Chain A
Amino acid sequence: MQIGLSEIKNIITRDGLPYKRKMKILALVLVIVILFSLCLETIQHGIISPAKVVENYKLWIEYNLSKMFGWPLYHIKEDILANGTVYYDVISRLKITAITFVCGIMLAMSGSIFQSVFRNPMAAPTMLGVSTGVNIGILILVLQFGGFALNMPFEKYIYCYIGAAAMLMLVLAVGKMSSGKNKMSVYDLLIVGAIVAQVVGAIQTFFIYNMENDELLLYQEVSRAISVNTDNITFAFLGISILVCIVPMYFIRFSFNAVCFDNDDSKSLGVNSGLMKILTLILGTFMITAGMVHCGTVGMITLVAPFISRAIFGAEYRKVFWGNLMIGGILLVVCRDVASMIYFNAEGLPLGTVVNFVTVPIFVVIMISQRRVFE
């Protein structure tokens, strides 16, 4: 029987309805979480009233506009002084929330890429040894600059990104060597990644073992990213990461589905999935690096966010795309809120610790509720 065009239109609209409803709910949750996060005080356990927050944003915008266009600053500075520390708390909270949200987005994206490429819902982006690379970067930074390392965001980012990139290249090169004349398979890459990370990790442990006490503390502080750096340079790095990673992924969000099927299958569909796999793995690695550099060891998000989004939106990558990003962002912002609310060592808890506490139960619940076997 021939299907008419009007019926197709109906089908498309009808199919789109549940998706739209779910997205609306998710957007609502996102807005609530973000608003709550913006009203939190940075370290103390208190909430600033929304009216006060808005008032301070106004001041902040006015101040920046005045600075930009050379308007008189006098009365604005007076208002800021009148608001006292609240002003600085509110503004730094805005920046921290933005950084956290963007990192959450990138972690979720990175996780979904790795899980699709390795066709395994337990695949983690750190499997290619990125975390070792980032830690090596920080180690070199601390050994080279000592106490100054804490206040060198630009150098820290450069060292971490270079460390991660070097590690990835090392894994790719060894993978290429081990596969010889044959095409490099992503599974070989996995084994090579584990081995190379072990070897490099051993060297790193040797250096850490030989560190003095204060150096060790410094290394821990820098690597856990306990204090978030809200300099402009951070935003520049995050902006570049979004442009380089999320935008291309947005455009290939339909054809990316091909990587979930085996190579022969996708090739017979007319897609060169081999190249797509390698390129997206590189993007995914870049994103997990960004997440780790700006928010510390928060790798669990990469497992949990795609899991939740698949449970809500199904498996088709186009449908999961936005939901996955939002869920990643929401999760990390919630973790950040929890971290800020717990008073610990005058600094708040490291985000990574909270992420593990918050996400592991979610992960267990999902594992149990999703007992149905996909194989």
Chain B
Amino acid sequence: MKLELRNLSCGYKDSNLILKNISFSVETGEICCLLGANGVGKTTLFKTILKLLKPKEGKVVVDSEDVAKWSAPKIAKKMAYVSQYHVPPFPYVVKDVVLLGRINSVRYFGKPKKEDYEIVEQAMEDMGIRHLREKIYTDISGGERQLVMIARALAQEPEMLVLDEPTASLDYGNMIKVMKKIKTLQKTGYGVVMTTHSPDQAFMCDSKVALLQKNEPVKFGNVYEIITEENLKQAYGIDVQVVEFADKTGRIVRMCAPML
């Protein structure tokens, strides 16, 4: 599957476009990190990609078909969305939350069958959260919740995952755990589009990067081309040094070191 944005402009009002003229493409088996300062419109862009908002100009194209003509179930079959805030008001058990990923295949009047349970269990297994299946979703930690939501997205059997800040408010350990899982997903053939505030995560995933800036064209390309000292200075207004070193195994690792 190939997701393309063609000269896309998005925003909530016609008079006030948040993002203008964005073009890039992501394929399955790739990770694309969206970086940009707070309020630059990352979530707005996601909503537009998923047809939760109408594009003001341009279009979102999946496998050379315009997504604007697709129904919500059809989009849900191709792309699964994990939003930033997702706290149900009632004490849902983890396995039930993941099971809701099957709503799209079960449709309005059906109920989950054996195959659906199989997919759900497999999704929980893949995310390593089967030990949590009986726990109440609101009682588990933030990192675990994130994995549950990704498992729910996997239960949708999509080709592309759209993750809105999957590591926001996670501690260091949980952040690394989630990133590891995301990398594994990429290797198993999923496409991943995610927003993040940390350029280091883009280095970790060796991903494509779309750097969004206000009133500037989007910078899109390989992480090594886009995450440069100059670009970060321009996007965030801070001085950063990109350092490179070999880890214990001899692999070259790049990281950002802010100049304090």
Contact = CB atoms under 8 A, between A and B. Distances in A.
Contacts of A314: 91-93, 96
A310 B88 contact: no
Most buried by A among B47, B75, B117: B117
B81 A121 contact: no
Contact of A254 (B79, B86, B101, B111): B111
A269 interface: yes
A268 interface: yes
Give the interface size class of chain A: 35 or more
Contact of A120 (B89, B109, B125): B89
Contact of A252 (B52, B92, B108): B108
Interface string A315-335: 110110000000000000000
Nearest to A264: B52
Interface string A262-274: 1011111111100
A121 B90 contact: yes
Contacts of A267: 50, 52, 72
A375 B87 contact: yes
Interface in A1-46: 1-3, 5, 7-9, 11-12, 15
Give the interface size class of chain B: 35 or more
Interface in A257-305: 257-258, 260-262, 264-272, 276
Given A2-B122, A315-B91, 20 more contacts: A3-B122, A7-B121, A11-B121, A120-B89, A121-B89, A254-B106, A265-B83, A268-B50, A268-B81, A268-B83, A269-B76, A269-B101, A270-B73, A270-B75, A271-B103, A310-B91, A315-B88, A315-B96, A374-B89, A374-B138
B110 interface: yes
A119 interface: yes
Interface in A197-214: none
A51 B59 CA distance: 76
Contact of A12 (B80, B100, B107, B114): B114
Interface in B105-149: 106-112, 114, 117-118, 121-122, 125, 138-139
Nearest to B156: A269
23 contacts: A3-B121, A7-B121, A8-B117, A8-B118, A15-B95, A254-B103, A255-B107, A255-B108, A257-B100, A258-B100, A264-B47, A265-B83, A267-B52, A267-B72, A268-B76, A268-B83, A269-B101, A269-B156, A315-B91, A316-B92, A316-B96, A316-B99, A318-B111
A253 B88 contact: no
